Amino acid sequence: MAQVPGETVQALLDGLSEGVLAVDPAGEIRLLNGAMAQLLGAAREELLSRRPAELEARGMWLPPVLRRCLESGQRQALVLERSGRRLALTAAPLPLGWVVATARDITELDRLERQVERMTQERERFHHELAGLRSAQAGRPEVVSSSLAMQRVLELIRRVAQVDSTVLLLGESGVGKGVLAAEIHRQSRRAAAPFVRIDCAALPESLLESELFGYLPGSFTGARREGKPGLIEQANGGTLFIDEIGDVPLGLQVKLLHVIQERRITRVGAVTPTPVDIRIVAATHRDLEALVAEGRFRADLYYRLNVVPVTIPPLRERPEDIPVLARAFLDRFCARYRVERTISPEAMARLMAHHWPGNVRELENLMERLVVTLEEREIRPDHLPLPAPGGPPVQVREIVPLKEAVAALELELVGEAYKRYGSSVKVSRVLGIHQTTAARKIREWKARRGGVTDGAGPRVQGAGSG
């Protein structure tokens, strides 16, 4: 094999942007390219055939990894700044006793990485801002009411929206706490800034801290290489909505308290805190005072949150709102699915008589279900999968085995529904069971009525039966 001339090797080395320096087995510098000579600030002739220790004794700077590699015989790597530049230095032993050192200028690479990280953070911030604005926009049609109780709540929200006081929204699940939080943000001076929501009940405890506070690169296994800003940081300038704050674990409550008091956050793995300008709105369906008494919620955090408490009454306590909400949901879903639906006065009366354990969310889901599943244009009472109003649903005359009582009650319910609606299809729709199941149980009900005298069987009676 032909040997490559020394001039060619030198030309190849000089063509590299990375600085290269090689020391022979005798400990003298034998190869050096122009990039390394420029970094060392000396002519190539001054460096060749010199020993690194000799040059350092004369006050010349050499990559510190070279000396460490010569002394230890092991590969060395280091990143440092010199003359305003960031350098990635390496030195490694080669076969036959040679040592090669390289120096790569990573200043531009670092700048690009930081730029990419900033762009990623901006993208995530804009994503959450857009989600928040969409949430606020979607929430506007739902902030409707005609009850005095809700008018008072909305008036209070209009007042507190103008200031940055912390608001604590209280109420049962489904009353619309998220909608009202978005409304507070929409009416505030921060309306053009991000509205960021985090549901503490939806995230496992192991992820909640990193999602809230963010993390530095390499903070834990599975973390992004570039790190990630937390939701608190992404809400900077806007509103942070902490939903289900009663589910925040005790250990994290301390950090959350510091955020509220100091308006500073510290990412996971970081030491230096970062200031944030946020308005905090929290919500919970839990009794925080009871949790404080049980030692499951910090008293100091509770008092920091409870600056402006807003209690949202359940839907059953404001039946005047049911018609306006039902029609608002009906209009929205009809427009979304491009269908026409109306609701009869009798069906509206049945809606107003319902207890609504799921509150506004239950009503919203029911209206969407009716819009997409009904073939008829008008919603009638028999279309509503709701129990008949008035009286307790079950009357117990004596204690019987539970399995026997449940079986008897099922047949009574099926029979009552069949007497009222006359077909297994409608029975299945009202009771929320499959049509074949409804038909089978109707046959069982008819057979029992034909073969059992009054007073036989377990004495558990459906409320509607005679």
User: pLDDT tens for residues 27-67?
Assistant: 888 888 888 888 888 888 888 888 888 888 888 888 888 88
Contact 382, 426 (CB under 8 A): yes
Count of beta carbons in the 10 Å neighbourhood of residue 218: 11
Residue 404: predicted pLDDT: 76
Residue 307 is given by DSSP the state T
Residue 464 has what pLDDT?
39
Identify the pLDDT of residue 48: 86
Please answer whether residues 304 and 254 qualify as being in contact, where contact means their C-beta atoms are separated by less than 8 angstroms. no
Tens of pLDDT, residue by residue over 289-347, are: 989 999 999 999 999 999 999 999 999 889 889 999 999 999 999 999 999 999 988 88
CB 346 within 8 A of CB 381: yes
Total Cβ atoms within 10 A of residue 390: 9
**What is the rounded distance in angstroms from the CA atom of residue 321 to the CA atom of residue 146?**
5
* DSSP structural state of residue 75: -
Give the separation between CA 396 and CA 227, rounded to whole angstroms.
62
Cβ neighbours of residue 319 closer than 8 Å, sequence gap 6 or more: 147, 352
pLDDT of residue 105: 85
Question: What is d(CA 383, CA 348) in angstroms, rounded to the nearest whole number?
Answer: 11
- The answer to whether the beta carbons of residues 381 and 421 sit under 8 Å apart is no
Instruction: Output the pLDDT for position 456.
Output: 37
Query: What is the C-alpha separation between 19 and 250, in angstroms, rounded?
Result: 54
Distances (CA, A) of 122 to 14, 118, 131, 233, 304: 41, 6, 14, 11, 30
| Rounded Cα–Cα distance for residues 404 and 400 (Å) | 7
Residue 187 has a pLDDT of 93
Distance of CA 441 to the CA centre of its chain: 45
Domains defined for the chain, CATH in brackets = 6-105 (3.30.450.20), 112-313 (3.40.50.300), 316-383 (1.10.8.60), 394-462 (1.10.10)
Residues 6+ apart with CB under 8 A from 435: 424, 425, 428
Which of 139, 164, 119, 111 has the alpha carbon at shortest distance from 325?
139
Q: What is the pLDDT of residue 459?
A: 41
Instruction: Give buried/exposed letters for 41-50 (b at 16+ CB in 10 A, else e).
Output: ebebeebeeb
Predicted structure pTM score? 0.55
How far apart CA 336 and CA 221 sit, in angstroms, is 43
Where the chain has pLDDT below 70, the residues are: 1-6, 120-142, 217-227, 388-398, 400, 429-430, 432, 450-466
Q: In whole angstroms, what is the distance from residue 414 CA to residue 444 CA?
A: 10
User: What pLDDT score was predicted for residue 141?
Assistant: 42
pLDDT number for residue 115: 80
State residue 138's pLDDT score: 43
